[in-house]
Amino acid sequence: MQSGKQNLHPATPSFDVDGTLGRLAKWLRILGFDAAYPCKGPSKGRFFVTRRAVPDQLGAVTVSDGNVFRQLKEVLEELGIQADPGQLMSRCLHCNVPVVAATSAAVAGKVPERVLKTAAEFHRCPRCGKVFWEGSHIERICKRLEDAGIPCSGPRTDVGPASATSNIVVSALR
**Beta pairing partners, 124:** 100, 131
Task: Tell me: does residue 127 bind Zn ion (CB under 5 A).
Answer: yes
Task: Tell me: does residue 125 bind Zn ion (CB under 5 A).
Answer: yes
Shortest distance in whole angstroms from residue 77 CB to Zn ion: 29
Nearest CB to Zn ion, comparing residues 61 and 89? 89
Q: Which stretch binds Zn ion (CB under 5 A): 32-40, 79-87, 120-128, 136-144?
A: 120-128
Radius of gyration of the chain from its Cα atoms, rounded to whole angstroms = 17
Nearest CB to Zn ion, comparing residues 74 and 134? 134
Q: Which of 54, 79, 81, 95 binds Zn ion (CB under 5 A)?
A: 95
* Nearest-angstrom CA–CA distance, 25 and 47: 12
CB 32 within 8 A of CB 88: yes
Shortest distance in whole angstroms from residue 59 CB to Zn ion: 26
Q: Which of 9, 23, 94, 144 binds Zn ion (CB under 5 A)?
A: 94
Shortest distance in whole angstroms from residue 94 CB to Zn ion: 5
Task: Tell me: does residue 92 bind Zn ion (CB under 5 A).
Answer: yes
Nearest CB to Zn ion, comparing residues 71 and 96? 96
* Nearest-angstrom CA–CA distance, 72 and 41: 19
DSSP 91: B
Q: Which stretch binds Zn ion (CB under 5 A): 14-22, 26-34, 124-132, 136-144?
A: 124-132
Shortest distance in whole angstroms from residue 65 CB to Zn ion: 28
Task: Tell me: does residue 173 bind Zn ion (CB under 5 A).
Answer: no
Three-class DSSP category at 116: helix
> Residue 42's Cα: distance from chain center in Å?
19
CB 50 within 8 A of CB 63: yes
Q: Residue 26: phi, psi to the nearest 5?
A: -65, -45
